[in-house]
Amino acid sequence: MKRLPLKIFFVLQLILIPLFISGVFADPPGPPGPGGDPSGNGGVPVGAPIDDGIGILLILGAVYGCYKIYEIWKRRMDMKEEKIEL
């Protein structure tokens, strides 16, 4: 019986949050400036740097994967030891 109010709470959050989230979206880009480079060469394209967090994320993923492999290996070794003792 206690789980029903909790489920209702989460469902209401899923329904109501999109109604209030519209205020956090970024404004659309403004109009282009008056002028530009007459030679036709554009400026340096602006983009988000992806190298800062991707390397850390890959390293953490590899460490987590190695940890999980170690856990599986350790569990198998414990099961083998239990079978030997029997």
Confidence of residue 27 (pLDDT cuts 50, 70, 90): confident
Task: State the pLDDT at residue 15.
Answer: 87
Q: Range of 72's domain?
A: 52-86
Of residues 20, 43, 19, the one with CA closest to residue 33: 43
Q: In this structure, is residue 29 part of a structural domain?
A: no
Q: In this structure, is residue 42 part of a structural domain?
A: no
Q: In this structure, is residue 85 part of a structural domain?
A: yes
Based on the structure, what is the number of domains in the chain?
1
Task: Give the pLDDT confidence of 8-20 residue by residue, as tens digits.
Answer: 888 888 888 877 7
Confidence check: pLDDT of 22 > 70: no
Helix or strand (DSSP H, E) at 52? helix 51-85
The whole model's pTM is what?
0.40
- Between CA 16 and CA 18, with CA 11 as vertex, the angle to 5 degrees is 25
Instruction: Measure the CA–CA gap between 28 and 38, rounded to whole angstroms.
Output: 26
Task: Give the pLDDT confidence of 32-79 residue by residue, as tens digits.
Answer: 766 655 555 555 666 666 666 778 888 999 999 999 999 999 999 988
Q: In this structure, is residue 63 part of a structural domain?
A: yes
Q: In this structure, is residue 64 part of a structural domain?
A: yes
